[in-house]
Amino acid sequence: MRLSLIFILIFCFQPVSSQEKDLFKLEFTTNEKSDFETDYSSFKRKSEHFYEDETYIVKDSCRGEFGGVIEFRNKDTDRVFVAKATCPSSLIKTNSKFYLTTSLAHLSGSSGIYEINDPKELTELKVNDSEKDKFFKKKSDSGLKELYRNIGGTILVSFPYQDKLYFITSNKDGTYLTQQIDSKFIKIKKLLDDKVYTYETGIKITDKDHYVNNFQIGYGKEIGFFDIKDNVIRINLYK
C-alpha cells in the first residue's frame, strides 16, 4: 500500500474543506488523576523494540539536548547501521521507505521528519570500531533526507489513515492536527487550546493499531494521553 507523507507546520492558516475537517472524530474524557497510570499502562507496545519488521530490529536512544541515535540491526546479517536522531519518536515504513519522526520537549521544543530510503545507506558500525569511531558515527546524518525541521514546537503523535500520514503537534498557539496539501501547510483541527508536551521518547503502537502518547499541561497541572485509532482521536484528560 502506498502511503503519502503528510507534513505538519503549525504556523499556517490555510483553509481546509468541511469534508477534510469531518474526516476525523474527536472524543474527550475527563478523569481523576489517580486513574492515569492504570489507564495509560493498559496500552501495550506490540514490540519490545522501537520498531521491528521481517528484516530489521530498530533501537533508539535519547540523551535530551545532547542528542540521540537510531540503530537498524539486520536480522540475517547482524550488520548495524546508525544515524543521529534527537530524539526518535516513531518510525513508519511505507512503499519500501522509512519515515522517522523526532521530537524533543527541551526548552521551547524541537521536531523533525526524515526519510530513510534504505537503512544500508546509513553509517555502518563495525565490530572493530573504537569507541571514538562509534561516537562520531552515531553523529552522522548520512542516509537521512530531512523533510521537515522546526524549533519552537513538538510532534506528539504521528499516525497513518487512508493512505496518508498525519501528525499531532503543539506549540505556544495550541495543539493541532495538521497536514500538507499541494505544498501548502494547513491546520485540519485544533485539538486543545493549550501547548502540551511529553517526555516520552517514543509513542506506543499497539498490536490493535492504537497510536498512543501521554502529555502534560502547565508543568503537570493537568496530564493526559492521546489515543488514535483509525480516524478517531480520543483525548483523555486527568485533573
β-strand partners of 209? none
Sorting pLDDT into bands at 50, 70 and 90, what band is 182? Answer: very low
Asked if residue 200 lies in contact with residue 26, where contact means CB atoms within 8 angstroms, the answer is: no
Task: Please tell me the pTM assigned to this model.
Answer: 0.86
- Out of 21-25, 83-87, 133-137, pick the least confident: 21-25
Q: Which range has highest mean pLDDT (16-30, 45-59, 150-164, 190-204)?
A: 45-59
Question: One-letter amino acid identity for 113?
Answer: I
Asked whether residue 181 carries a pLDDT value surpassing 60, the answer given is no
Q: What confidence score (pLDDT) does residue 17 get?
A: 53
In whole angstroms, give the CA distance from residue 201 to residue 106. 12
For residues 185 and 120, which has the higher predicted lDDT (pLDDT)?
120
Which residues make Cβ contacts (< 8 Å) with residue 134, sequence separation at least 6?
A: 125
Q: Which three cell numbers stand for residue 198?
A: 511529553
Q: What confidence score (pLDDT) does residue 221 get?
A: 85
In whole angstroms, give the CA distance from residue 43 to residue 34. 17
Which residues make Cβ contacts (< 8 Å) with residue 219, sequence separation at least 6?
A: none
Mean pLDDT of the chain: 88
**Per-domain residue ranges for the chain?**
4-238
Sorting pLDDT into bands at 50, 70 and 90, what band is 219? Answer: confident
Asked whether residue 8 carries a pLDDT value surpassing 60, the answer given is no
Distances in Å between the Cα of 68 and the Cα atoms of 64, 102, 135, 164, 214 are 7, 10, 11, 27, 20
Closest CA to 91 of 215, 226, 211, 227: 211
Asked whether residue 96 carries a pLDDT value surpassing 50, the answer given is yes
Q: What confidence score (pLDDT) does residue 225 get?
A: 98
- Coil/strand/helix, residue 60: strand
